Chain A
């Protein structure tokens, strides 16, 4: 049963990562790209969790916490220093 779960979650997470990468490439503003990069990090953390659950080890737990720290620091920093360089509104 675990092989089936691994296959299904691999397909689902690959599709999700592809969607997030498309949004990073297309995203009209910087904040959209930051948000999509955050989602991509969450998908990476989900893949690490599924690896731990299927193979029954805990090696990735520190990596998971480090990934969430990196996502937090990155999105807060970019959001702090983003500036409005456009005149018009509603372009998103």
Chain B
């Protein structure tokens, strides 16, 4: 009923060791994906592995090793901060990559942004030439 302290210690050490090794392997997977994937979008897919799941596993290992309850809220705050910033930067990089055509169109299974980009380009072309007749639509 009451396992002695050294057994619990060993189990916690083993769990945190597994977390640390898997978290490090996430980084290696991201590097392999960066080297081997063909274009920017698929490289972005592999780059998010250490940023979210790898950081979660490593922060959990830190919390398990320190064995105090008050570090957990601090670690959760650090992880949530990463969760809030990573999608924003990935969105910006992905949008800039689409606009500057750093992608292989034949690898996409669906392209929902194409219609929006074509419409924006058409509107810009309509507004551009002499600014006379078509300009009133924009106002």
- Taking Cβ atoms with an 8 Å cutoff, the residues of A that contact B are 1-2, 4-5, 8-9, 12-13, 15-20, 22-23, 29, 31-32, 34-36, 38-39, 42-43, 45-46, 49-50, 52-54, 56, 58, 61, 64-65, 68-69, 71-72, 75-76, 79-80, 82-84, 86, 89-92
The dominant DSSP class at the B interface is helix
**Cβ of B69: which chain A residues have Cβ within 8 Å of it?**
none
Interface size class of B (residues with CB under 8 A): 35 or more
Q: Please state if B58 and A79 are interface contacts (CB–CB under 8 Å).
A: no
Task: Name the residue on A nearest B103 (C-beta).
Answer: A92
Q: Please state if B58 and A53 are interface contacts (CB–CB under 8 Å).
A: yes
Q: Please state if A75 and B58 are interface contacts (CB–CB under 8 Å).
A: no
Alpha-carbon distance between A79 and B25 when the two chains are bound, in angstroms? 28
